[in-house]
Amino acid sequence: MSIAIIGSGFSGLGAAIRLDEAGHRDFLVFERGNDVGGTWRDNTYPGAACDVPSHLYSYSFALNPDWTRSFSAQPEIEDDLRGVAQRANVLDRHVFGCEVRRTAWNSEKSHWELATAKGGYTADILIAGFGSLAEPSLPAIPGIESFAAAGGDLFHSAQWNHDTDLAGKRVAVIGTGASAIQIVPAIVDRVTHLDVYQRTAPWLLPRFDRAFTAPERWAFRNVPGYLRLARAGIYAGRETQVVGLAKNPNLMKGFELLSRAKIRREIKDPELRRRVTPNFRIGCKRMLISNDWYPALDRDHVDLLTDGIQEIDGRRIVTADGTVREVDALVVATGFHVTDSPMFDTVCGADGASLTQKFADKGMRAYKGTTIAGYPNMFVLVGPNTGLGHSSMVYMIESQINYVVDAVTTMRRRGLRTVEVKQHALDSYNDRLQKALDGSVWMNGKCASWYLDAHGNNTTLWPDFTFRFRRQTRRFDIDAYETAPA
């Protein structure tokens, strides 16, 4: 095997398809799940849906004219990815139910060695497509493990237990982020009482979602260029937000006014209005979209609690003010390990150091979000500073895939055994990135977010227009790499 791909979500699956199209068919995709889909296979909680318009949140090489809504729900996105994989004929090179437990570079043999649930493998090239939303993050609350031991139902939003019936139960949800604002409205009518624990109020904007009409879907399928024109319009509209987010945060004030008006319109209780109003600049944390979050919080049997959780004692949740509330089920909607993924422990480079050790001093750093010094022939998809606060990650993923495919083509055309990014190229690139981030709302919006790592650096987001990242990754720039012949 020449190429090993870890993961079969948007990243890994897209890489497999584009490699196959380029004639590089000697790859295997290792997927710990039993199907493709990644995040959209695993996150099956009630109300799960995308917050990027469907026609932009899809591969440019596999546009779907049959999306039923402007913002698609999880089952439709998962089905779309499965259909794309089947039509591309790459499933024969997938190994499902095969978790990759460790990968290590063998300097003597110049290849990667993989220890998996189904045995050992070697590969000349490693493509890490495990993504940033793969490892759920549990809150470090004293006694949280006692909840299930006391007979309560406890699960993370990304590991929803569909065997648990919440009807007629007292339920608590920890978190008010992207998953929580979809879960709460979806379950509010089923439960007897709902407690929502909030650390920081999010900024919320309207969700302009609707079903596509039959004539629209006909036009998407049959009118030449119409679907791509619609996609381009969505893309252009999203890109305008970059000016406010990354260049001049003062331009975001209009969005704040829109959000404040939404609060006044949808919440009657003045005290609840106060608690849901953020105290930081919009965009500093992820901007969320919903039409039913505030109305759900305004229901009589829903309480929004802003005192921090001190401990969990069996099925009793104790907050910092001493209040005790007993519930039957606890949903943890606290996001994922993004800057400290457990997967980093399993990838070891030329000197034996894991990515966790590599990133310990300065945080996550990569060249063009894709290659890391000390890790030859390895390409990371959805790597450091490739995330977005305004648009579709699929666009960024495709940009990286273009770069990786050209790298593989270049290696084979030139007869190269290894390529490894030069340390000074990586450092210079990241210095420019951090300088560009200095004036952004993410660094100056006065909030604490998962965009920032333990060092206070933003190692997650791209601080510019996405077309500029596409331009940077259009070709593999071999001059930035140390190479060795085969």
246: which DSSP letter? Answer: I
What is the distance between the alpha carbons of residues 230 and 53, in angstroms, rounded to a whole number? Answer: 11
Pairing status of strand 100-106 against strand 347-348:
parallel
> Could you report the per-residue pLDDT of 380-424, keeping only the tens digit for each?
999 999 999 899 999 999 999 999 999 999 999 999 999 999 999
For residue 341, name the pLDDT band (cuts at 50, 70, 90). confident
**Mean pLDDT, the chain, integer:** 96
Is the separation of the CB atoms in 93 and 27 below 8 Å?
Answer: yes
What is the distance between the alpha carbons of residues 174 and 178, in angstroms, rounded to a whole number? Answer: 12
Looking up tokens 């948007």 gives: 10
Is there a shared CATH topology between the 3-135+337-485 domain and the 145-208+234-332 domain? yes
Residue 416, SS3 per DSSP:
strand
Confidence (pLDDT) at 137: 80
Structure tokens at 398: 């495709």
Is the pLDDT at 340 greater than 80? The verdict is no
Mean predicted confidence (pLDDT) in 440-444: 95
What is the distance between the alpha carbons of residues 77 and 205, in angstroms, rounded to a whole number? Answer: 22
Name the CATH topology of 145-208+234-332.
FAD/NAD(P)-binding domain (3.50.50)
Q: Which amino acid is at 124?
A: D
Structure tokens at 220: 């998407």
> Could you report the per-residue pLDDT of 288-332, keeping only the tens digit for each?
999 999 999 999 999 999 999 999 999 999 999 999 999 999 999
Confidence (pLDDT) at 88: 98
Mean predicted confidence (pLDDT) in 186-209: 98
Is the pLDDT at 337 greater than 80? The verdict is no
Confidence (pLDDT) at 448: 86
The residue ranges of DSSP E strands in 88-148, in sequence order, are 94-96, 100-106, 111-116, 119-123, 125-128
Confidence (pLDDT) at 406: 99
Confidence (pLDDT) at 136: 80
What is the distance between the alpha carbons of residues 125 and 377, in angstroms, rounded to a whole number? Answer: 5
Q: How many residues does the chain have?
A: 486
For residue 443, name the pLDDT band (cuts at 50, 70, 90). very high
> Could you report the per-residue pLDDT of 258-281, keeping only the tens digit for each?
999 999 999 999 999 999 999 999
> Could you report the per-residue pLDDT of 116-137, keeping only the tens digit for each?
999 999 999 999 998 766 678 8
Mean predicted confidence (pLDDT) in 89-117: 97
Is the pLDDT at 1 greater than 70? The verdict is no
For residue 338, name the pLDDT band (cuts at 50, 70, 90). low
Confidence (pLDDT) at 454: 82
> Could you report the per-residue pLDDT of 139-189, keeping only the tens digit for each?
889 999 999 999 999 999 999 999 999 999 999 999 999 999 999 999 999
- In terms of CATH architecture, what is 3-135+337-485? 3-Layer(bba) Sandwich (3.50)
What is the distance between the alpha carbons of residues 43 and 136, in angstroms, rounded to a whole number? Answer: 10
Is the separation of the CB atoms in 301 and 193 below 8 Å?
Answer: yes
What is the distance between the alpha carbons of residues 196 and 232, in angstroms, rounded to a whole number? Answer: 38
What is the distance between the alpha carbons of residues 366 and 459, in angstroms, rounded to a whole number? Answer: 9
For residue 60, name the pLDDT band (cuts at 50, 70, 90). very high
Q: Which residues of 325-353 are buried (b: 16+ CB within 10 A; e: fewer)?
A: bebbbbbbbbbbbbbbbebbebbbbbeee
Is the pLDDT at 25 greater than 70? The verdict is yes
What is the distance between the alpha carbons of residues 443 and 232, in angstroms, rounded to a whole number? Answer: 29
Among candidate residues 263, 155, 145, the one with its CA nearest the CA of residue 201: 263
Domain ranges, ordered by start, for the chain: 3-135+337-485, 145-208+234-332
What whole-number percentage of the chain has pLDDT above 90?
92
Q: Is 377 left (phi over 0), alpha (psi -120 to 50) or beta?
A: left
Tally the C-alpha atoms within 13 A of residue 136's C-alpha that lie toward its C-beta: 16
Which has more confidence, 362 or 428? Answer: 428
Residue 26 phi, psi dihedral angles, 5° rounding:
-90, 65
What whole-number percentage of the chain has pLDDT above 70?
99
> Could you report the per-residue pLDDT of 213-222, keeping only the tens digit for each?
999 999 999 9
Which residues have a Cβ under 8 Å from the Cβ of 100 and sit 6 or more positions away? 6, 30, 32, 114, 115, 116, 346
